[in-house]
A and B are shown apart, each in its own frame.
Chain A
């Protein structure tokens, strides 16, 4: 597939047939004696999407659906089993592209979920934030680096004097601000945010989301945003992809996806959100649970929970098709059984 994004401009990041399997086989001797086969977790099982410059693309899904693995594949913390990742037209996915990745990596930074675990407790905040600057030797000289750190800290709403303190002296929200400052220190154009607010209280979450939006406008950043919270995703993103068991079942621009969800799983997810507006409404609980990614169901992985499943869904995995800019992998939608 060589579909460029709809507005004609080349996408900043495009992912094509991305696959990542993890070997979870029993040790060799056990396999020999107990006659077990090798087994794999199919964490990411063939997904394609594009992210345009300046966009916020969100991946949503329940735990274990592979959304964090995608994030890690893109920043290069994992190597893909198959498929390609192109950044600004340059292939950075496979191992052979390691040199290219080295060249492109400075443009990407990642923000992690847990602000308690992602900052080194023995370093002062100024050293933490200065690390990307030092690694990439962006600025020469101690005083200038310190100046830049102060600038970054004020940019995320902290005071330059906070650089002298240690991470434990800050609250969760402030620590996440430090993580953001550190990510910005590398002067990235693309930020991968893996659940950046799910460890935070709602009022602090609002502060961080507002900050991220403001920075995006000011610095022209592109975000890949991973979250399980649909309301947050609705608020921040321009495009949304819904993942289920390692596959992207539907992706479209935010408004379309939330107003007119097509895939039965997307509909179920949207039905399952508690609604603040009409307090007392009965939400329709999704029946069943996410199956194990070691032995995913045959055909469409969602068929055991799907109200529209028929014979074909059990045997044949649906391919993604595009309907007016909405990409859906579902036989029922393709056959026009559901609109």
Chain B
């Protein structure tokens, strides 16, 4: 446990601190950039982009070795991966636009074919004399063990640039995500904005290759925005909450991974993000599962209370156990099922409300108002006092309710 604290406070060594800061920044950038992808309902495009990086990594390695350089230069490899990811992205776009295949088919085709090509290139590299210790497999699942200061700088600078780009582009991207047709009518070039969004996603993917690996980087782009969506209904906030969640998952994940053996960084970060997602799914206010259950329960009790009181008003016995429970808890009936004075008063009120609604629906012209009758809303919330007085004149004088007559 103390080693985890050390790692969290950047005290677990130089390399671990580098990885932690890098992962935090990357997580923030990925969460923020992924938000638009999620809002545009194109989350899985990032999967195609991520898998499409592999052939670029292989080609860059081969090219750098052929030119007599060190094939493992990270900047070169990332540049190669960006190129092939961009090619994959354009292909997805081309297939969806030019043929009748849907986007998901295009995504699946591009990701599997590019990944296959990447694997072919990896086997070619393994047979090259310079390729035996290339370590390119590290890009599949990420590897942080031998991270250099230079690598961390690449991640930090790239992550910062990605966050800045998100900030600059947030308005057009939000507009396109919510209503692409309206954006087009406003004179925005929807296709260019979409491509810019994808470029952002690609940048995050490429930066994250070394740390999280190409199979799991999608998780950093998808899970934090989905999680953030539980906590707010405002798109502006989703971006920053997703960024914060992603950053937390990245930083804490890297710390956990540094503090214990056999804890691969990428999967730990993803599982951290998944844990935050599960928490939010159940506990978030308004959109969470627990909140929905509570809402349902409250609604159910309101219905039972109302129907129970109406039954009392008609001098009927209440049999339903939940209704009995609700009425007893409020002291409206005695344990033997007979209405108390308070119960009779409430029953009279509810019966009068129901009667007024009946009249209102008969004589009032505005269906927009009478349509709000749902058997629960008190009539005072919909009509003005003088309108209600008019209904009462139709109803006539009071009549006794409740109890034996």
A and B pair up = no
Interface residues of B (CB under 8 A from A): none
Query: Which residues of A line the B interface, CB within 8 A?
Result: none
